[in-house]
Chains A and B, each alone.
Chain A
Amino acid sequence: MVINMDVLKRIPVKEQDPKVRARNFEEVCLGYDKEEAMEEASRCLKCKNAKCITGCPVSIDIPGFIKAVEAGDIEEAYQVISKYSALPAVCGRVCPQETQCEQRCIRAIKGESVSIGKLERFVADWARVNDVKPEAAKEKKSQKVAVIGSGPAGLTCAGDLAKMGYDVTIFEALHEPGGVLVYGIPEFRLPKDTVVKSEIENVKALGVKIETNVVIGKSTTIDELMEEEGFEAVFVGSGAGLPKFMGIPGENANGVFSANEYLTRSNLMKAFDENYDTPIAAGQKVAVVGGGNVAMDAARTALRLGAQVYIVYRRSEEELPARVEEVHHAKEEGVILKLLTNPTEILVDDNGWVKGMKCIEMELGEADASGRRRPVEKPDSEFELEVDTVIMSLGTSPNPLISSTTTGLDINKYRCIIANEENGQTTKEGVFAGGDAVTGAATVILAMGAGKAAAKGIDEYLQNK
């Protein structure tokens, strides 16, 4: 088979047709097959001083695994990746490669970068289908470590510690492990039953125990885990799950949801599926306020539930914090972008339901401290947007449940846990932290990087104890 041979261009990846996929929850991107992957791998120059590695937060040996793909030895490629990353099938799908590894790829100087993310994804999917597993620890240690939260940070930290032989238990508040991977990021970007579940199974196969329905700070506390249950170290990877609201009039009307609620109903509780009990008020005309990944996910979920959808964002398209690929997908599917627009009030009908949203147009003024141009209101530009549902996607902050119930665990003014970047050590001896709980809402791969660093920190701490 002859595939595209222009080495400056990537091998395109198959996707579901936008018109079809806008009405289903199946994965949008279909991924490479082996031939395409080997072809794409051949575009890599296997640089000695590979720049791509420096762009990867967990420093995967990218040319190393790509070389194995080119040679057709996918199992070898998987073992290379597994040394660095516990969730490659997830990262290959949701990492913003365009600002990480792929941005630094030498090929990007002239032409398109190597499709590193799609190759990583192919390798991990191949390993799942062919039942290749990472290797478990040979020697066991007796020391017990507790990990709080089963998102990417917790799973990575637990996996790494188990590989070192520690006795690790993850405590998860919800009934299903995975954190944002199960309740936040939708099925059409990250399939749950196949991809997420099997990566979690891999972590369990390393010997990690997962206890669901345990809310630390309520069911038990960190102090009790350490003083009564014999855990010698604790890693906190509890994420940043507390939603923000705008504080504008009408925000508690029926039909106004946080993106977290909307997405949790749809993803975790599978409200989109007739066979599940949890209801969702999908809406006919939906406004999603915000411009991050979460806003895109909420908008595309609403679209799939049958609504007409607007994204309302106060800056311009260039500043949208969401991944370029996701903005592109959202537009293809028919999401309407209302940029340089800010809501000022939610209009409510006599029954207490949303009937519209008052907005004002914005223009970009001077650059602020962060270098981004600050949006300012355009005088006399108010208008009404007719909608019946509003989804607030303004960001999240860490839940104070853990910090407020643990003695000596300090937080900063954004309520994030204070932790050393190098080894995750917090202000409390034996307690380490990482991921969104420390940085505020960030990315999967950064959370994994922090989990990894903390696993090393915990190992050093326990060895010297």
Chain B
Amino acid sequence: MYRIVKKESLNPTVTLMEVEAPLIAKKAEPGQFIILRVDSNGERIPLTIADFNRATGTVTIIYQIVGATTQALDHLKEGENIQDFAGPLGRPTETEDFKKVAVVGGGVGCAIAYPVAKKLYEQGCEVHSITGFRNKELVILEEEFKKVSNKLVLMTDDGSYGTKGLVTDALKTLIESGEKYDAVITIGPLIMMKFVCALTKEYQIKTLASMNPIMIDGTGMCGGCRLSVGGKTKFACVDGPDFDGHEIDFDEALTRSSIYKPFERRAHEEVCHLYEMEVK
């Protein structure tokens, strides 16, 4: 059992939790994730380690409420326990060798991008962060990003906060204005990452995309998380989750992410209206 020591709502659909998991906190590196199970009838879901504190032995997760499991998780209160919490899984994000990087996050993907930006910044790398949200209501981690970025561009689809437009617009503007990046690291919805990668390919900038396929075990034993990268089959949970964005077959990944849509049984009746209203 893993105790929730802090719970905080970041926006109407995104929650932060700090969980007691000393073994994981001791080892975690940015880019890695955990797999949790809320209760004994629950499903295993992957969530990125958004932050960790080796001294207090806690791990922070930030999740968006999209279906039955994230909803069940959100019903737990501070002081209550999560049944299973395994990790750290996956490979850490490759952050060495970079002097100047653009970190591009979309929606809840910003939670995953944040620890990466932080690590890069602490290593002395120049970090330009671009974060994108649908609207002002959904903005998360603005202060946190400011602290670890030499430049922060905040975008909203509807212009209700920051600059109006998509993250790709902001990235393109920066590149065209003469910024030279060693790498772009992008984390967010598949469709966003697909377009970020298409853009950086034009300019031949090395790009890492953090993939989020459906996972079960997260240890490499089922292949449910497989992707095509450079024509080869890779298991995101052990070979990734980061891959060379110019090699990923995004269309296949988009198709595969919908496999269980027709089968999400408990989700159907219970899916909260938040999802319908705020996320869609």
Interface residues of A (CB under 8 A from B): 173-175, 212-215, 218-220, 241-243, 245, 247, 251-255, 257-258, 260-261, 264-265, 269-270, 274-281, 351-352, 396, 399, 401
Please tell me if the beta carbons of B263 and A277 are within 8 angstroms of each other in the complex.
Answer: no
**DSSP class of B's interface residues: helix, strand, loop or mixed?**
mixed
A258, B72: Cα distance in complex, Å: 29
Tell me if B116 is interfacial: C-beta within 8 Å of chain A. no
**A-contacting 9-mer, from B101-109, B188-196, B213-221:** B213-221
A276, B87: Cα distance in complex, Å: 23
- Give the shortest distance, in Å, between B111 (CB) and chain A (any CB): 21
List residues of chain A with CB within 8 A of the CB of B37.
Answer: 175
A352: contacting residue among B43, B69, B255, CB under 8 A: B255
List residues of chain B with CB within 8 A of the CB of A399.
Answer: 219-221, 238
Please tell me if the beta carbons of B86 and A261 are within 8 angstroms of each other in the complex.
Answer: no
> What are 12 residue pairs bridging A and B, where the CB atoms are less than 8 Å apart in the complex?
A175-B83, A219-B23, A220-B27, A245-B233, A252-B252, A258-B222, A276-B42, A277-B41, A278-B44, A278-B216, A352-B256, A401-B219
B263: contacting residue among A257, A264, A275, A279, CB under 8 A: A279
B41: contacting residue among A175, A212, A252, A276, CB under 8 A: A276
Please tell me if the beta carbons of A258 and B216 are within 8 angstroms of each other in the complex.
Answer: no
Tell me if B110 is interfacial: C-beta within 8 Å of chain A. no
Please tell me if the beta carbons of A277 and B68 are within 8 angstroms of each other in the complex.
Answer: yes
Interface residues of B (CB under 8 A from A): 23-24, 27, 37, 41-44, 68-69, 72, 83-89, 216-217, 219-224, 226-228, 233, 238, 252, 255-256, 258-260, 262-266
Closest to A212 in B: B84
A270, B264: Cα distance in complex, Å: 14
Please tell me if the beta carbons of B255 and A351 are within 8 angstroms of each other in the complex.
Answer: yes
Given the known inter-chain contacts A242-B221, A281-B260, please indicate yes or no for A213 contacting B252, CB distance below 8 A.
no
B266: contacting residue among A218, A255, A270, A277, CB under 8 A: A277
Please tell me if the beta carbons of A213 and B221 are within 8 angstroms of each other in the complex.
Answer: no
List residues of chain A with CB within 8 A of the CB of B252.
Answer: 252, 352
Please tell me if the beta carbons of B27 and A218 are within 8 angstroms of each other in the complex.
Answer: yes
List residues of chain B with CB within 8 A of the CB of A352.
Answer: 252, 255-256, 258
List residues of chain B with CB within 8 A of the CB of A275.
Answer: 41
List residues of chain B with CB within 8 A of the CB of A241.
Answer: 219-221
Please tell me if the beta carbons of B68 and A252 are within 8 angstroms of each other in the complex.
Answer: no
Closest to B218 in A: A215
A242: contacting residue among B216, B220, B258, CB under 8 A: B220
- Give the shortest distance, in Å, between A109 (CB) and chain B (any CB): 43
A242, B235: Cα distance in complex, Å: 10
Please tell me if the beta carbons of A213 and B223 are within 8 angstroms of each other in the complex.
Answer: no
A77, B260: Cα distance in complex, Å: 49
List residues of chain A with CB within 8 A of the CB of B259.
Answer: 254-255, 281
Given the known inter-chain contacts A212-B84, A277-B266, please indicate yes or no for A401 contacting B220, CB distance below 8 A.
yes
**Given A219-B86, A399-B220, A401-B220; 15 other pairs, CB 8 A cutoff:** A173-B86, A173-B219, A213-B84, A219-B23, A219-B24, A242-B220, A257-B224, A261-B223, A276-B41, A276-B43, A277-B69, A278-B44, A281-B263, A396-B221, A401-B238
A33, B223: Cα distance in complex, Å: 42
Please tell me if the beta carbons of B216 and A264 are within 8 angstroms of each other in the complex.
Answer: yes
List residues of chain A with CB within 8 A of the CB of B265.
Answer: 274, 279
Please tell me if the beta carbons of B228 and A252 are within 8 angstroms of each other in the complex.
Answer: yes
Given the known inter-chain contacts A218-B27, A219-B27, please indicate yes or no for A261 contacting B216, CB distance below 8 A.
yes
Closest to A255 in B: B259
Please tell me if the beta carbons of A219 and B88 are within 8 angstroms of each other in the complex.
Answer: yes
- Give the shortest distance, in Å, between A229 (CB) and chain B (any CB): 11
A265, B43: Cα distance in complex, Å: 9
List residues of chain B with CB within 8 A of the CB of A270.
Answer: 41
A279: contacting residue among B83, B85, B264, CB under 8 A: B264
Please tell me if the beta carbons of B86 and A213 are within 8 angstroms of each other in the complex.
Answer: yes
* Cβ-closest 7 pairs across A and B: A352-B255, A279-B263, A241-B221, A261-B222, A213-B86, A277-B43, A175-B84
- Give the shortest distance, in Å, between A215 (CB) and chain B (any CB): 6
List residues of chain A with CB within 8 A of the CB of B24.
Answer: 219
Closest to B254 in A: A352
Given the known inter-chain contacts A213-B85, A220-B23, A254-B255, please indicate yes or no for A278 contacting B43, CB distance below 8 A.
yes
Given the known inter-chain contacts A173-B219, A261-B223, A279-B265, please indicate yes or no for A215 contacting B89, CB distance below 8 A.
yes
List residues of chain B with CB within 8 A of the CB of A253.
Answer: 255
List residues of chain A with CB within 8 A of the CB of B85.
Answer: 213
Please tell me if the beta carbons of A251 and B233 are within 8 angstroms of each other in the complex.
Answer: yes
A243, B238: Cα distance in complex, Å: 13
A396, B72: Cα distance in complex, Å: 34
* Among A247, A258, A261: residue with most chain B CB under 10 A: A261
- Give the shortest distance, in Å, between B66 (CB) and chain A (any CB): 14
List residues of chain B with CB within 8 A of the CB of A279.
Answer: 43, 260, 263-265
